A and B are shown apart, each in its own frame.
Chain A
Amino acid sequence: GNSVTQMEGPVTLSEEAFLTINCTYTATGYPSLFWYVQYPGEGLQLLLKATKADDKGSNKGFEATYRKETTSFHLEKGSVQVSDSAVYFCALSDNAGNMLTFGGGTRLMVKP
């Protein structure tokens, strides 16, 4: 079956530091890949997506590249802000509807 593995947190960074959150997946076929974010007190929201190999998803300064050869979709940001503090979830869809498989989530804490 499908699975998503992401680095355990919490990840604690100082403001303006570089961020990487690792995500690897196991799936049959060619899934679509997503990063969702859950800010404190809010619901999950889509951050970015990529639907095929070598696609790069980007939003709000965050980027992730779909790497089929390494089955990875690592999330990166060049300079984090305190407002980026949240829980980040990597997810995949095998494109059979909206049945997403989520990773366990990584809590990011950014200190001023």
Chain B
Amino acid sequence: KAGVTQTPRYLIKTRGQQVTLSCSPISGHRSVSWYQQTPGQGLQFLFEYFSETQRNKGNFPGRFSGRQFSNSRSEMNVSTLELGDSALYLCASSTGTNANTGELFFGEGSRLTVL
């Protein structure tokens, strides 16, 4: 069974640009969550999508957005990039059922560097 796939794995952008990251969940998983990992702030929740609807949202500015498609694949977008957005962005998939709450399968991440 294929794991969670994130693309691209590495990217470099400059301040003010925007970026789109993609995540393909494990087959059959309907929930996709996004996390930002930085040395200073650790792992922080961005948002979760379930069946194409945003189910939860973390405390990030509106420059961070996401969506989920009917095949459960998800994208997140960051507009007007700032230096502080440099981070590893992790996608995690889950069945989304109550019985499996918190049981996440993570991808290897997309490492974004903002210059």
Contact = CB atoms under 8 A, between A and B. Distances in A.
A46 B104 CA distance: 7
Q: SS class of chain B's interface: helix, strand, loop or mixed?
A: strand
A15 B34 CA distance: 35
B41 to A, nearest CB: 9
A49 B102 CA distance: 9
Contacts of A105: 42-43
Interface in B1-51: 3-4, 31, 33, 35, 42-45, 48, 50
Interface in A72-108: 89, 91, 93, 95-105
A interface secondary structure, majority:
strand
A24 to B, nearest CB: 16
Interface string A19-47: 00000000000001010100000111110
Contacts of B44: 102
A99 B90 contact: no
A93, A97, A102, A103, most chain B CB atoms within 10 A: A97
Contacts of A91: 102
A98 B90 contact: no
